Amino acid sequence: MNRFKKNLGFNLGLILLGAAFLAGLAMAYLAYSGGDETSRALRSSTTVEAGLLNGHAFAPGEALVSLNETTSRPPRATSPTSPPTARS
């Protein structure tokens, strides 16, 4: 047991290994706790996006207005001289 107490290099190695382990635990905790803020921001943005896609009534009793492919497309420009073409 005396030799163990006198071996300074071994003891310093154990102390450094323990310190590295504790630093790793602290870094893992900080990385894990940082995910809370980003998950709240993601949840908030998906709620807003879902509200836009599902529709919104601007006045009580009015039809819902939603932002989807059919309502967000600009109107097609048609020239008055060309005949309409049949779509398949």
The total of structural domains in the chain comes to: 1
Is 86 inside any structural domain? Answer: no
> What tokens were used for 38?
């980003």
Is 77 inside any structural domain? Answer: no
Is 38 inside any structural domain? Answer: yes
H or E stretch at 33: helix 8-54
Q: What are the angstrom distances between the C-alpha of 52 and each of 48, 67, 69, 72, 80?
A: 6, 6, 12, 11, 35
Is 83 inside any structural domain? Answer: no
Sign of CA dihedral 15, 16, 19, 24: negative
**What is the spatial distance between Cα 68 and Cα 65, in angstroms, rounded to a whole number?**
9
What is the per-residue pLDDT for 83? 58
Is 76 inside any structural domain? Answer: no
For 57, the domain range is 2-68
Is 82 inside any structural domain? Answer: no
State pLDDT tens for residues 22-78.
999 999 998 888 777 788 888 888 888 877 777 766 778 777 777 666 665 665 666
- pTM (global) more than 0.75: no
